[in-house]
Chain A
């Protein structure tokens, strides 16, 4: 009996932990439930880039991420999918036209020379821009926080719109301070981050150009060396870096087609800039191959319907179990409720995005989780009918049913693995939720049901065989 008390306490602790997780963690709803746009972009190959390597994909991902930041969408997600695709999720965006246009273009990297006499102006404008960007980040965080308050949300959105306009204006102002050159990203062959000296905390970005680019770069750097004016590097019309050129290059410019951009970079910021440059250097067009946009209220309708349906199904299952299996049925019901709580907590913990099919999978898994209990109880009944004592019967029920439970769950897990390995998008999500469900259902059947059942038969007043198997006497 002491043994089961230990287990009971362990289960109780687990239940409290799961409840804590559920209360503390907000659910991640898929776009089909909360509304929004999901785009799949395919990176197209060109003569220059005949193959999409992981590096190319990472660089393009950087470009797309940047463009989305420019759109000002809270909680946007950019993920790689497969070898040549990017999955972009834009929650709350119900008109994907603008997003689609902005995302699918080819990244434009451009070098420009600062106009004489604009030094202070550029400084002011850049400061203003970084302030605006800071403000945007704050607003986006606020927007995510107040997702449930439509009044506040409207206000924030209005502010965001204003902020976006100011940013655009400041971008244009900055661009007007520069004269575009003929040097473009197509002539950039390489960009990577490197420490200034071995093991130094200061990093720099090394850029390399092809022969034509090297010539143009030497000309440009010669023009501005030592003047205090900077070389503007624009990606998609936005200034990403504005390095100055030291006076010692005034004679020849920076020759050899290789240059180092330094100045207070950390490993992180240097790498970011290198990826941006790389992305701009890749003239790869993007194509929108999939676009799914769901209005917010459509998602809410279906989540409500499916939740109600699921709950109704669950209640029927619970009633059936008690009606058919009596006391063990009641215990199985408790185990099933624990299963539902644990599984939901696990979804939140693993950051599973809840989609409509995912919820269906969850509901289904509740019905399937019964199976282990049914196997055990059927076995227990058989043993009781064969004339064994209650304790021995319950014990044998668990022992004998174990092989069946294991085999049947492993085969389902194999199907899950195949779905996960080969499926795409929400198909994978379904596989993950099903697999988590199977794992936890085995745990609750073999641990929770077992503990409760043995605990129950350790209480004399509950030790009545016909509560475990009705009509037992007549069978004997």
Chain B
């Protein structure tokens, strides 16, 4: 047995701690500067996003690319100066504002049409989410996260034992923290926002990560049964090595489609794929290096003095 996860467990734990801590620091910074640990998208805080593209089939409509200053001017006139603006391609513009009513929106698009030219309705995208609805989505998403934590813990306690379930949960929380931490960093560095797909991604990550942990646990249980004389450290080491091929191959086959979506898929799914990519990689890591090493460490503690002994000595004077 050449490879032992347990031998260098302080290295693995330290590595995870560093990543998680830097994520937490990023969350703290954005908490101070943005008011929330992650940059929340339209889905959560509400607002209106309009995406227009010039109708280039009309004559002379696309003689020049959209001038962002003109758009900015129109927004200022409408009292929407603090909206964020982005040019998409050459002839498209994406505008994000506070939630707009139908009339406000119509006024804005009419004004833009006059200044810039006709837009192609086939390529128009309008999203308005009310602030209360956004809060609801966030709340129900977090609740779903919590409920699935509880459900998974109960199931694993039934199938294995409570301490197994606890460490699987630790690994899950680890994966969620790493993924959100990296997105907090991305929010600071590249202005990446999270939407409701991010919550979907987190839940999928949980499902996948616990898969990995369960496969290793299954092997630990089996090895313990077959070789009761082995120490827990050795059992865990063996279980990890025996399942390593499967872990690597499964992670690889799951990551392949994600990588292709990240590289070639549409814009909507790009950050969804990235979140899953980070989460799945972390999930495989945490199953091997965190959940199993924690289990070995916990079961290997020196046994506490039996409770009945102390009771006897105190009750017999």
Contacts and interface: CB of A to CB of B under 8 A. Distances in A.
Contact of A422 (B144, B210, B218, B243): B144
Interface stretch (B200-208, B298-306, B308-316): B200-208
Interface string A274-305: 00000000000001111111111110011101
Nearest to A302: B266
Contact of B155 (A303, A410, A421): A410
Contacts of A320: 249, 252-253, 256
B264 interface: yes
A94 B121 contact: yes
A134 interface: no
B125 interface: yes
Interface in B227-282: 242-243, 245-246, 249-250, 252-261, 263-269, 272-273, 276
Given A292-B127, A313-B257, A367-B258, A411 B144 contact: no
B102 interface: yes
Given A291-B128, A404-B218, A423-B144, A418 B151 contact: yes
Contact of A293 (B127, B156, B218, B269): B127
Contacts of A178: none
Main secondary structure of the interface of B (DSSP, over half): helix
A313 B259 contact: yes
Contacts of B128: 288, 290-292
B256 A317 contact: yes
Interface in B57-112: 102, 105-106
Contacts of B120: 295, 297
A302 B261 contact: no
B151 A417 contact: yes
Interface stretch (B13-21, B25-33, B129-137, B288-296): B129-137
Interface string A36-76: 01001010000000000000000000000000000000000
A430 B200 contact: yes
Contacts of A363: 257, 261
Nearest to A310: B257
B148 interface: yes
Interface stretch (A195-203, A249-257, A368-376): A368-376
A148 interface: no
Contacts of B253: 317, 320-321, 367, 370-371, 374
B261 A35 contact: no
B159 to A, nearest CB: 6
Contacts of B156: 411
A469 B290 CA distance: 31
A40 B132 CA distance: 12
A324 interface: yes
B191 to A, nearest CB: 22
A295 B122 contact: yes
Contacts of A317: 253, 256-257
A400 B256 CA distance: 27
Contacts of A292: 126-128
Given A374-B249, A404-B214, A419-B148, A427 B199 contact: yes
Contacts, number: 230
Given A302-B266, A408-B215, A423 B141 contact: yes
Contacts of A411: 152, 155-156, 207, 210-211, 214
A360 interface: yes
Contacts of B255: 367
Contact of B123 (A37, A295, A426): A295
Contacts of B207: 411-412, 414-416, 434
B258 A40 contact: no
Interface residues of A, number: 77
B197 interface: yes
B56 interface: no
A424 B140 CA distance: 8
B34 interface: no
A23 interface: no
Contact of B260 (A301, A316, A374, A434): A316
Nearest to B219: A404
A375 B215 contact: yes
A418 B207 CA distance: 11
Contacts of A40: 133
Max chain A CB contacts within 10 Å: which of B121, B197, B253, B269? B253
A95 B155 CA distance: 49
B22 interface: no
B143 interface: yes
A382 interface: yes
Contacts of B159: 407
Contacts of A308: 264
Given A94-B121, A364-B258, A427-B199, A370 B272 contact: no
A260 to B, nearest CB: 41
25 contacts: A35-B122, A290-B130, A293-B125, A295-B125, A297-B122, A298-B124, A306-B265, A309-B263, A313-B256, A313-B260, A313-B261, A357-B197, A364-B254, A370-B250, A371-B250, A374-B246, A374-B249, A374-B250, A378-B249, A404-B214, A411-B210, A415-B206, A422-B140, A422-B141, A422-B143
Interface of A: 32, 35, 37, 40, 42, 94-97, 100-101, 287-298, 301-303, 305-306, 308-310, 312-314, 316-317, 320-321, 324, 356-357, 360-361, 363-364, 366-368, 370-371, 374-375, 378, 382, 400, 403-404, 407-412, 414-419, 421-424, 426-427, 430, 434
10 shortest interchain CB distances as A-B pairs? A313-B257, A302-B266, A412-B207, A289-B130, A408-B211, A418-B148, A313-B260, A422-B144, A367-B254, A414-B151
Given A297-B120, A356-B269, A408-B215, 11 more contacts: A35-B122, A97-B102, A289-B133, A291-B128, A320-B249, A320-B253, A324-B249, A368-B250, A407-B214, A415-B210, A423-B200
Interface of B: 102, 105-106, 120-130, 132-133, 136-137, 140-141, 143-145, 147-148, 151-152, 155-156, 159, 196-197, 199-200, 203-204, 206-208, 210-212, 214-215, 218-219, 222, 242-243, 245-246, 249-250, 252-261, 263-269, 272-273, 276
